[in-house]
């Protein structure tokens, strides 16, 4: 790729949170960015056929739908609700011709991590037949250990790889997010292992601001923090991944600024630190 090539740049709609789905599609396309990951809240009360038509007209490609998961809960009723929600996500993805659903697997502070991980595996196994039938892939996204209490009991790439090894399906793989995994001393080894299994389904980028002011909503533009983004990108590509680089930034600071200017900053930081 050249230093100005945006062909692999994708943006999550949550990154430009103030824009509705139609505005995001239009703005990304005008900026020369033709890959998008759609967060499901942007689909609420929307006509999926109309959104698909808009995407096609703007020559936009959906990379993934975000997010499914949240399988873990002490109450069976809540676990069943999660299964139904994930099945709805699969049907949404199929209607939009979206190839992948990102799974934030869930956890609950009222039970052990081991129990949450058991429920996560069971939940994936429950929804996998529908995903296979609709030809929608499921990507397990390991989350940073700071989210182990309530967001995800899957916190390392090794854990995600192990689930993929135990549940054999070409529709199940892994999402590598630099924000969540950059700290792991086994990361290069596990990326190589993931590649050998052909399980790298997506690659998410942003940066870790130091010192951070918010553990959820203070992510930075690429190059603003301490994550070795280019090194991790090299490992992922050497492992065989040839897909898009998805910018996923939660930031109160950036959500408050003019989003057109923010989009320009995203493009610049991507060219400077990821190409």
pLDDT in tens, 181-235: 999 999 999 999 999 999 999 999 999 999 999 999 999 999 999 999 999 999 9
Domain tally, the chain: 1
CB of 104 closer than 8 Å to CB of 70: yes
Asked if residue 4 belongs to a domain, the reply is no
> What is the pTM assigned to this prediction?
0.97
User: pLDDT category, 4, cuts 50, 70, 90?
Assistant: confident
CATH code at position 168:
3.20.20.150
* pLDDT at residue 2, rounded to an integer: 56
Distance, CA of 37 to CA of 109 (rounded, Å): 30
Look up the domain containing 227 and give its range.
9-273
Asked if residue 31 belongs to a domain, the reply is yes
Residues 152-164 have pLDDT tens digits of 999 999 999 999 9
Partners of residue 140 on adjacent β-strands: 103, 174
Asked if residue 1 belongs to a domain, the reply is no
Asked if residue 2 belongs to a domain, the reply is no
Residues 91-131 have pLDDT tens digits of 999 999 999 999 999 999 999 999 999 999 999 999 999 99
H-run or E-run covering 12: strand 9-12
Asked if residue 237 belongs to a domain, the reply is yes
3 has pLDDT over 90: no
CB of 156 closer than 8 Å to CB of 176: no
């Amino acid at each position: 790729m050249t230093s100005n090539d945006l062909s692999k740049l994708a943006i999550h709609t949550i990154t430009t949170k103030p824009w509705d789905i139609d505005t995001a599609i239009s703005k990304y396309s005008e900026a020369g960015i033709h890959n998008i990951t759609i967060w499901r809240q942007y689909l609420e009360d929307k006509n999926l056929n109309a959104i698909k038509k808009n995407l096609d007209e703007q020559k936009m490609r959906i990379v993934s739908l975000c997010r499914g998961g949240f399988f873990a809960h002490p109450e069976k009723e809540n676990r069943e609700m999660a299964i139904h929600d994930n099945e709805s996500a699969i049907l949404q993805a199929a209607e939009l011709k979206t190839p992948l659903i990102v799974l934030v697997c869930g956890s609950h502070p009222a039970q052990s991590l081991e129990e949450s991980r058991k429920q996560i595996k069971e939940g994936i196994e429950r929804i996998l037949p529908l995903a296979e039938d609709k030809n929608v892939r499921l990507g397990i996204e390991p989350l940073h250990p700071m989210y182990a209490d309530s967001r995800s009991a899957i916190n390392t790439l090794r854990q995600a790889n192990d689930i993929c090894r135990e549940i054999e399906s070409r529709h199940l793989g892994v999402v590598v997010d630099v924000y969540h995994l950059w700290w792991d001393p086994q990361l290069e080894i596990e990326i190589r292992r993931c590649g050998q299994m052909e399980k790298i389904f997506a690659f998410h980028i942003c940066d870790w601001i130091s010192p951070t002011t918010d553990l959820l909503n203070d992510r930075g533009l690429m190059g603003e923090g301490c994550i070795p983004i280019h090194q991790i990108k090299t490992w992922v590509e050497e492992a065989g991944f040839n897909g898009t680089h998805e910018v996923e930034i939660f930031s109160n600071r950036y959500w408050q600024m003019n989003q057109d200017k923010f989009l320009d900053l995203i493009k610049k930081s991507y060219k400077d630190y990821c190409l």
